[in-house]
Amino acid sequence: PDIMKKWFFTSELTNIYTMSEPKVGGTFEILDFHDEEDYYVLGKYKEIDPPKKLRFTFKMPHINDAEDVIEIQIKPYESGCKMTFIQEIKIPTEVGLTEEEIESKLKEYHDQTEEGWGYIFDELSKVLKTMREVSFYEKMLGQGDLSNDYFNSNSNHERNV
């Protein structure tokens, strides 16, 4: 949860609460506050196969009752890894919508979802960069695990490298 609250549907500055039980059947909860609104995310871990695969449900009950399923696959790629992100989107639709209205809702939801995950992946990139920098300085300085200090939920560190 200490690292999760720095990037997953939140940022350290807007995170109010993060809880995670990273095991199959375990759950996670995130409460974030930004733009004068609370954003609440619930999920349940369905499959965990480190470091290759993670599959979980994703629900935002303050918006609707839809529960998406997300799968993240990680494979070795060149000098790093390649992440494949798959979201099985469940869109609640009202009875009586025309095909055109349904298509319009699908596009709107797709665009909002793509924008949201773009932000989340940007935050993840920042966290990973910081973790690499902390690891580099650990090696250079011959110190213990600085990352535990940096990502401790009780600490509020900034590092300019």
Span 101-106, average pLDDT: 85
Confirm whether pTM is higher than 0.75: no
Predicted pLDDT at 137: 66
pLDDT at 34 over 80: yes
Position with higher pLDDT, 6 vs 26 = 26
Among residues of the chain, what percentage have pLDDT more than 70? 82
Render the burial of 138-148: b for 16+ CB within 10 Å, e for the rest: eeeeeeeebbe
Name the amino acid, one letter, at 74.
Answer: I
Length of the chain in terms of residues written: 161
Span 109-130, average pLDDT: 87
42-95: per-residue pLDDT in tens?
999 999 999 999 999 999 998 888 899 999 999 998 888 898 999 988 877 667
pLDDT at 150 over 50: no
